Amino acid sequence: MLFFRTRSEGKYGWGNLARLSWIAKYFKETENIKCYFIIEGGSKSKKFIQNLGFDILICKKNISFEEELKLLKKFNSKINIIVEMLDFVYEHQLNYRNQNFNIIILDDLLEQRYCSNVVICGQVQSEKSPQIIKEKHTKFYYGYDYFPINPSLKINKCFEKRVQNRKKLGVFLGGVPYTIALLKIAKSLIEFKHLDIHFVTGIGINLSLTEEIKALLPNAVIYETVDVGRYLASLDFAIVGGGYSKIEAYFYKIPSLIITTQYHQIPLAQIFSKKTNQKYLGHAYYLNNKFITESVYGLIKNGSKNIKFNILKKLDKSFENTISTIKKELEL
């Protein structure tokens, strides 16, 4: 059996929970391994995981280690646990280690001290592999080769683009509504009457945000959530966030502008932009509408002619590489 530990919703977003669900889905369907989730989140997280057919040991805010341990002690077997969440601090890891748990951490930020069995970082923060603070026994895997991209994206990538007279631009910053960023972008797109504009606001949309975007862009199509693969396959251009969406759009070879919505995304977006030539505009809080508008004009003019697609080969095998690493290290 496998256990998955994460935080989701609100300031934590949906990316970590979604990525763990893709991994769990593989082990459930391909390896017939029972998967359990421990989630610090709300009712939407619970519903999301239950709809995928997974068992939840606990789903609530502010779970203590004592609560976790009580639940995990009920299983009379070796505990293999895969963790992806912000602020999985050394003390929490050490508590797991003291119980002799096997721990794999997925962490794109590398801001902690580590004592887990394995750390997998699927994004890149600098030209050289970083020197993380870890125990001697902790193994470290680094780079886009280990970015566990959603396997369903490969299926949708085969779809033919529809023939269209008007160009389609998608705005897809992440899984939760980044209101300030979305409204700034909407204001910056007012003069692009020749584009079909499709916003994905994220789960937790409120009516006033929809109304505000519609007031600025009456013809815009607004979704709370989408089938990401089908959505991306239909786009000609995109404005994406600094987390997973920048990589997903790149995977579909969509000319994109990157806007970060969280500070920890900044170094990830900067190095990704340098490696791919997908333009990084900056953090949403510090951008003005004129700069975004000018950048959209440049995006339309240049298209994909300057994009470097050298990372695609790594991303094509990155999910399989991550799964193989987990299986090897946990001896599954």
Cα separation, 67 vs 15, whole angstroms: 24
pLDDT digits (tens, 9 = 90+) for 241-300: 999 999 999 999 999 999 999 999 999 999 999 999 999 999 999 999 999 999 999 999
For 174-200, the DSSP string reads -SS--HHHHHHHHHHTTT-TTEEEEEE
- Name the one residue in this structure whose structure tokens are 């970015």: 147
Would the CATH topology of 2-142 be identical to that of 153-314?
A: yes
Listed by start position, the domains of the chain span 2-142, 153-314
Cα separation, 297 vs 300, whole angstroms: 5
Cα separation, 54 vs 330, whole angstroms: 20
Decide which of 3.40.50, 3.30.160, 1.10.287, 1.10.530 is the CATH code for 2-142.
3.40.50
Q: What is the pTM of this model?
A: 0.92
- 3: number of Cβ within 10 Å: 23
Fold of 153-314: Rossmann fold (3.40.50)
- 152: number of Cβ within 10 Å: 14
**Rg of the chain, C-alpha, whole Å:** 20
Average pLDDT over residues 88-105: 96
pLDDT digits (tens, 9 = 90+) for 159-213: 545 445 569 999 999 888 899 999 999 999 999 999 999 999 988 766 789 999 9
Provide CB contacts within 8 A for 180, sequence distance 6+.
284, 285
Which residues share a beta bridge with 102?
Answer: 80
